[in-house]
Amino acid sequence: MKVFKLIIKNTLRHRLRSILTILGISIAVMSFGFMRTIVTAWYAGVEASAANRMITRHAVSFIFPLPLSYRDQILKIPGVEEISYANWFGGVYKDPNDWNNFFPRLAIDPETFLDLYPEFILSAEDREAFLRERNACIIGQKLALQQNLHRGDIITVDGDIYPGRWDFVVRGIYKGRDKTVDETQMLFQWKYLDEQVKQTQPGREGNVGWYVLKVKSASDIPIVAKTVDDMFYNSNAGTKTETEKEFQQSFVSMSSAIITSVKMVSYVIIGIILLVLANTIVMAARERTREYAVLKTLGFSAVHIVGLIGGESMLIAVSGGLLGLAMTFPIARGFATIFPTFFPVFNVEPLTIVLAISSALVAGIVAALFPTMRTLRTRIVDGLRQIG
Amino acid sequence: MSIVSVDSISKSYWRDSQEIPVLSNISFEIPEGEFLALMGPSGSGKTTLLNLIAGIDKPTKGEISVAGTKISSLNESELAKWRARNIGFIFQFYNLMPVLTAFENVELPLLLTSLSKKERRERAEFALKIVGLGDRINHYPKQLSGGQEQRVAIARAIVTDPTLLVADEPTGDLDKISAEEILKLLDRLNTEFKKTIVMVTHDPRAAERAHRSRHLDKGELS
């Protein structure tokens, strides 16, 4: 028989109490893991940003357009290797009150855009079909699954930013290079948008929402940003050029209060884990004061006592932590399935796993500190007198 | 030859700022192989004296030597190791681990030794056979009677072959028949296995089993 066996037997002594504690910890760890996943999902766009891509948008706001004529001027700036552009299309697909019908719809310059975003993997056939037809579009495979869309299907959108009824033909389905790539977007030809706008709203044509710049190296970023913005400083449409990461971060910053609240709640949950476990371990150690005194009488050292109390605490904490972590994955998957458009990328990140387990481990250690110190300080003769 | 030497020891407890003397300037010796009964009324300091001899408490003054070791000069860690090697404890309320079987309870002190699993098993089974519980090794304490629990406790006390057995009211929680069995067992351990035993009791019949009785009253030995 080893001391570890005694730890297990002690843990199982009050089965209901131990099981309830493990369940309590597991629910807390699951909640912590789920909330951290929400926070990381919020930052998914930021994390997926490429280091050599920059965004040039209107200096006032992203919603104001920039002239297409800027493209050639920007492309001449030293350090800029490639350029593309896009527009936020918006619009309403099917029932506007159903969140599942919301997905990003972007007008893009297909040749350059797809070259600049190699993380969107499209077959050669799909690419060719997309380029061949003016009102063709490509969609992410996640969106295709959600909306049961196939190649050849028509997506009809009621325009809001660009009024009218718009029909797009699905000609390709892209896959993400990895799980951080948003597979819920619909991309269509910018020329289709521009031609339609020219006919229905003359004067709005020839505008883009933002430019995407590919720079030769990350060290070119500051000088390119300054050169672009200086170039259009005195024009009607001043620009703001920043890294793609900063651009994405600006969207996240709009929700900073919510993110901070979620983070705060996740930290509170760690406190709850600690209190639930500490309560159990303090009770268990107090009940066994006499037994620990007997062990000390028999010659068991302080190290053994620390091992027994700490081991029990860690066993419960780790069991709860692992169970909670195991529950986090189906909960996250379920959330992503029920609310597919809330977060385009919703994965339990390795860092979340590490943090969730670490929280349980730290709780296990901290919860054992007080009862262990109390037991070690109790004199044998006083411990032997303890009843109950 | 003395195995225990108690030299001018005193023991006091403090309650707030008030000193409460329990033992006062006590000296005596216990020869090897003796079965000594410490008697006296409740609160006379019997258990305190036993605890001092067993090294689970320290005297306020004086010196105690057991088998040549001055235990009052050992620190807590050294005392723990010393107790594991030299002292076998028998408590009034048995103090077995309820989650462990009789065998596991007896094996417990052997976990502190370098014995192999096989050796530990042989020793624990032998100790349980000596106390007459060779057929109850897989029983948990709650599945045993009080007398059987005390016999498991005695097996646990002797399994390491300690220098000294200390028993604090070993029959205090038992009926007459069970108490008699325990006393017979202690007598056998003393005569057959040559164990030195110090037993605290206020039961005159238990004390009759011992070779010698010493009386404590108001912290003084007579």
Annotate chain B with three-state secondary structure.
CEEEEEEEEEEEEEECCEEEEEEEEEEEEEECCCEEEEECCCCCCHHHHHHHHHCCCCCCEEEEEECCEEHHHCCHHHHHHHHHHHEEEECCCCCCCCCCCHHHHHHHHHHHCCCCHHHHHHHHHHHHHHCCCCCCCCCCHHHCCHHHHHHHHHHHHHCCCCCEEEEECCCCCCCHHHHHHHHHHHHHHHHCCCCEEEEECCCHHHHHHCCEEEEEECCEEC
Give CA–CA dist B58/B172, Å, rounded: 25
**Banded pLDDT at A98 (limits 50, 70, 90):** confident
Select the residue of A5, A13, A301 nearest B80 (Cβ to Cβ).
Answer: A301
- pLDDT of A232 higher than 80: yes
Assign A209 to helix, strand or coil. Answer: coil
Alpha helices for chain A (secondary structure H): 3-11, 15-42, 44-47, 70-75, 110-116, 124-132, 141-147, 190-200, 221-231, 244-253, 256-287, 289-298, 302-338, 350-377, 380-385
Assign A308 to helix, strand or coil. Answer: helix
**Banded pLDDT at A344 (limits 50, 70, 90):** confident
Matching residue, tokens 């006083």: A382
Select the residue of B83, B100, B111 nearest A297 (Cβ to Cβ).
Answer: B83
Q: Where are the domains of chain B?
A: 34-56+85-221
In chain A, what residues touch B165 (CB-CB under 8 Å)?
none
Encode pLDDT of B2-12 as tens digits.
899 999 999 99
In chain A, what residues touch B112 (CB-CB under 8 Å)?
298-300
Matching residue, tokens 């700022």: B17
Encode pLDDT of B135-186 as tens digits.
999 999 999 999 999 999 999 999 999 999 999 999 988 888 999 999 999 9
Q: And the tokens for A227?
A: 């050169």
DSSP symbol at A101: G
Mean pLDDT over A167-196 rounds to 94
Mean pLDDT over A339-345 rounds to 74
Side-chain half-sphere CA neighbours of A145 within 13 A: 11
Q: Do A10 and B108 touch (CB under 8 A)?
A: no
- What is the residue-averaged pLDDT of chain A? 91
Q: Do B77 and A300 touch (CB under 8 A)?
A: no
Matching residue, tokens 């200086």: A230
Residues of chain B whose beta carbon is less than 8 angstroms from a beta carbon of chain A are 48, 51, 54, 56-57, 76-77, 80-85, 89, 91, 95, 97-100, 104, 107-109, 111-112, 156
- What is the residue-averaged pLDDT of chain B? 92
Residue of A nearest to B124 (CA): A1
Q: Which of A36-45, A353-362, B198-207 has the lowest mean pLDDT?
A: A36-45
ipTM above 0.95?
no
**Banded pLDDT at A1 (limits 50, 70, 90):** low
A356-372 b/e (C-beta count within 10 Å ≥ 16 → b): bbebbeebbebbbeebb
In chain B, what residues touch A379 (CB-CB under 8 Å)?
57
**Distance of alpha carbon B182 from the chain centroid:** 13
- pLDDT of A102 higher than 90: no
Looking at the complex, report in whole angstroms how far the Cα of residue A369 sits from the nearest Cα belonging to chain B: 20
Select the residue of A9, A12, A299 nearest B80 (Cβ to Cβ).
Answer: A299
pLDDT at A388: 55
Encode pLDDT of A127-159 as tens digits.
999 999 999 999 999 999 989 999 999 999 999
- Domain B34-56+85-221, CATH: 3.40.50.300
Give the Å distances, CA to CA, from A280 to A183, A295, A312, A325, A359.
46, 21, 10, 21, 17
In this structure, are residues B152 and B185 in contact, taking their beta carbons and an 8 Å threshold? Answer: no
Best of B85, B93, B111, B118 to disrupt the A interface (most A CBs within 10 Å) is: B111
Select the residue of B51, B83, B104 nearest A299 (Cβ to Cβ).
Answer: B83
Low-confidence ranges of chain B (pLDDT < 70): none
Assign A294 to helix, strand or coil. Answer: helix
**pTM score, two decimals?**
0.76
In this structure, are residues A174 and A141 in contact, taking their beta carbons and an 8 Å threshold? Answer: yes
Give CA–CA dist A326/A162, Å, rounded: 46
In chain A, what residues touch B77 (CB-CB under 8 Å)?
301-302
Chain A with chain B: Cβ pairs closer than 8 A: 64
Looking at the complex, report in whole angstroms how far the Cα of residue A302 sits from the nearest Cα belonging to chain B: 8
